[in-house]
């Protein structure tokens, strides 16, 4: 199933998904679009109790079996989708929802960590987004960006793993496309400003934005 009005942004660590989501939120406010439609910028792991626990695991503060982490990501996603005020409710009332990461992250990261079967099973019943934007970045640049950060590295932020992450994304994208998702692959090596313009134009092509453009 595809959820209309739902877009996700994906990429390796350091590919800029979080920066781009912040920029997108700013653009929506600047363009005054919220007057005509609700929009909700969100992300996974969420800021809910399960998401916060996942962040502690990613930072190495708590240690669990990798399969447990895969299950936690799926449980957090279930809340993100179906809890009151969640993705399904918002998209259903014609709000635009854009998420920093979703099922592709689990299929890629947990697929590499614990084999494809478990994340595929855990995520099989979750609906697809209407639009999937993937920020593609050379693994060398990913590692340079991670090295420049002040925070301690998370468990997946190592060269060998990130190279496999990129490969796994490139293999996975056609599967989403075959399922009817509009998949856009953007070069993540440009400046954040350049990338923000491209992302903005793709989001503006979503059918929900047609109504907004007409009402402005």
Can you give the binding site for ligand TYD, defined by CB under 6 A?
13, 17-18, 44-45, 58, 73, 100-101, 105-106, 109-110, 154, 156
In the complex, minimum distance from the CB of residue 90 to ligand TYD, in angstroms, rounded to a whole number? 18
Q: State how far the Cα of 192 lies from the Cα of 34, in Å rounded to an integer.
A: 23
Nearer to ligand TYD, 151 or 193 (CB): 151
Rounded to the nearest whole angstrom, what is the least distance from the CB of residue 110 to ligand TYD in the complex? 6
* Nearest distance in Å: CB 25, ligand TYD: 15
The smaller minimum CB distance to ligand TYD, of residues 33 and 43, is found at 43
> What is the spatial distance between Cα 31 and Cα 61, in angstroms, rounded to a whole number?
41
Using DSSP's 3-state secondary structure scheme, residue 136 falls into strand
Nearer to ligand TYD, 12 or 212 (CB): 12
| Half-sphere exposure (Cβ direction) of 47: Cα atoms closer than 13 Å | 6
Contact 198, 208 (CB under 8 A): no
Torsion angles phi and psi, residue 170, rounded to 5: -65, -30
Nearer to ligand TYD, 100 or 130 (CB): 100
What is each CA distance from 96 to 22, 27, 136, 208, in whole angstroms?
A: 15, 14, 24, 7
Report which residue's Cβ sits closest to ligand TYD.
Answer: 109
Q: Which is nearer to ligand TYD, 73 or 176 (CB)?
A: 73
Work out how close the CB of 82 gets to ligand TYD at its nearest, in angstroms, rounded to a whole number. Answer: 16
Considering the complex, what minimum distance in angstroms separates the CB of residue 210 from ligand TYD? 30
Return d(Cα 130, Cα 34) in angstroms, integer: 20
């Amino acid at each position: 199933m595809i959820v209309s009005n739902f877009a996700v942004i994906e990429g390796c660590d350091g590919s800029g998904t979080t920066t781009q989501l912040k920029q997108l939120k700013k653009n929506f406010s600047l363009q005054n679009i919220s007057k005509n439609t609700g929009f909700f910028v969100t992300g996974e792991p969420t800021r809910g109790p399960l998401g916060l626990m996942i962040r502690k695991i990613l930072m190495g503060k708590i240690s669990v079996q990798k399969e447990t982490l895969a299950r936690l990501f799926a449980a957090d996603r279930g809340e993100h989708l179906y809890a009151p005020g969640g993705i399904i409710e918002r998209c259903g009332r014609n709000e635009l929802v854009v998420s920093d990461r979703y099922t592709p992250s689990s299929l890629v990261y947990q697929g590499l960590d614990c084999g494809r079967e478990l994340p595929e099973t855990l995520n099989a019943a979750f609906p697809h987004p209407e639009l999937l934007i993937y920020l593609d970045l050379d693994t060398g640049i990913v590692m340079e960006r991670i090295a420049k950060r002040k925070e301690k590295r998370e468990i997946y932020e190592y060269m060998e793993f990130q190279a496999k992450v990129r490969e796994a994304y490139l293999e996975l994208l056609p599967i989403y496309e075959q399922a009817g998702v509009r998949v856009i692959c953007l070069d993540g090596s440009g400046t954040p400003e350049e990338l923000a313009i491209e992302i903005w134009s793709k989001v503006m092509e979503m059918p929900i934005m047609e109504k907004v453009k007409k009402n402005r």
